[in-house]
Structure formats: structure tokens, C-alpha cells
Amino acid sequence: MKERKHDTRWMVSVALMAAIIIVLANTPLGMIQLPIIKATTVHIPVIIGAVLLGPSAGAVLGAVFGICSLISNTMAPTLLSFAFSPFMSTTGITGAVKAIWIAVGCRMLIGIAAGWLWILLTRIKVSHLIALPIVGFAGSMVNTITVMGSIYVLFAQQYADAREVGVTAVWGLIMGTVTASGIPEAAAAAVLVLALGKVLIQVFKRMKMPMADENAFGTAK
């Protein structure tokens, strides 16, 4: 009965975090429209959910984030929406599959990476005050690097056409986005994950909720 209670709490917690993601994704705070691409803060609850509930929850929440991104880029397309929405594909089914990977697959990696990094840091007794911003920064950079890296590998020519540059200039533009948008986004994630994570960890402990680090490797019941 105790395990079933924990399973139910886990599912409810994941559902609540998913609801937060959906709300954020449909407000200006979640998807910030830039001239070329949509910057995001929706990865913050994905990272926090992975910290609190584990890599599997992080993967689910990342998928929710990805689906929201897919819908956003379909309903309100930008120059790069072909890389995030299969319905905006300019290269048929192949391009659609690539877009699903970037929109959904890369976002699932945020939660998986953040969840396992948190478990690793807590296992080696790193203070939460240090571990939380590290996980926040790393999780955000996973989002930026995997998304922009996948665009470079899978859509270099289409990206060059959208930006009206030669394909040889794509690498520099990708790195410019990583530097100008990705690093500040990651720094903000580090601060927010620390601030919110400290509070929510205490809430989970008071509620006697199973934490991600407690369930890792099957060492705790």
C-alpha cells in the first residue's frame, strides 16, 4: 500500500508539473518571441521536476514541453518553425521526423540529463546549494546545445536559406545563438532552480514524498 501511495503521489506530482509547463508555454513568460527563434523558460519546471521526481519524470515533462513547442511553432510559426513542427516541414516526411526529434526528443533529454546529474551530485554528497544551480545550468545548456546542434546537423541548408546566408556561415550563427541566448538562459535557470528547488525540496520532505536521489539505483524503498 505504501508503494502504491508513492506511485499515486508521483503521478499527481508529475501531472501538476506538466500543468505548470502547459500554462507557461501558453503565456509570454514561457515562450519569449525573438526575431528568429522562440526563447523559453519552460525548461525550468522540467529541470525542477527531474530533481524532485527523477529522470523518468523529467523525460515525461520534457515531452510535454516538446509537444507544447511543436504546437506553438505550428500555430504561430517563425523562420525556424520548420525545425520544430512536422507540419511546417519543407523536406517531406524526413523533415517531419527530424522536427519531432528536435521539438520533443531534445526536450526529453533535458529531464533525463538533469535527473541523473542530480542523483550523481547528491550521491557524492554535494551540497544542495551547489548542486541545484549546477543542475539548472546544465539542464538548460542541454536544451540549447541539443536543439541548436540538431538544427546544425539536420537542417543546415534550410537554416541557411531561412537566414539568407551561405551554408558555411551556419556554424557561426549557431554558436552565436548558443553564446548570446543559451548561456544567459542557463544562468537564469541556475538561479531559478536554486531558488525554487530549495523550497520545493523542503516541501517534499515535509510531505514525506519519495525524492529522486532516494530512489536511485534501487537503494531506497
CATH classification at residue 42: 1.10.1760.20
pLDDT of 144-173, one tens digit each? 999 999 999 999 999 999 988 999 999 999
| Rounded Cα distance, 134 and 150, in Å | 23
User: What pLDDT sits at residue 70?
Assistant: 95
Number of domains in the chain: 1
User: What pLDDT sits at residue 108?
Assistant: 98
Q: Phi-psi bin for 217: left (phi > 0), alpha (psi -120 to 50), beta?
A: left
User: What pLDDT sits at residue 218?
Assistant: 39
Q: Calculate mean pLDDT across residues 87-105.
A: 94
Tell me if 39 sits within 8 A of 143, measured CB to CB. no
User: What pLDDT sits at residue 32?
Assistant: 61
pLDDT of 43-84, one tens digit each? 999 999 999 999 999 999 999 999 999 999 999 898 899 999
pLDDT at position 2 over 60? no
Domain that holds residue 107: 2-218
**Residues 6 or more apart whose Cβ sits within 8 Å of residue 63:** 104, 107, 108
3-state secondary structure of 181: helix
Q: How far is CA 186 from CA 35, 59, 107, in A?
A: 20, 19, 15
Cell numbers for 208: 514525506
| Rounded Cα distance, 75 and 64, in Å | 16
Q: How far is CA 48 from CA 95, 134, 147, in A?
A: 31, 12, 20
This prediction's pTM: 0.88
User: What pLDDT sits at residue 78?
Assistant: 87
Band (207; pLDDT cuts 50, 70, 90): confident
pLDDT at position 221 over 70? no
More confident residue, 166 or 209: 166
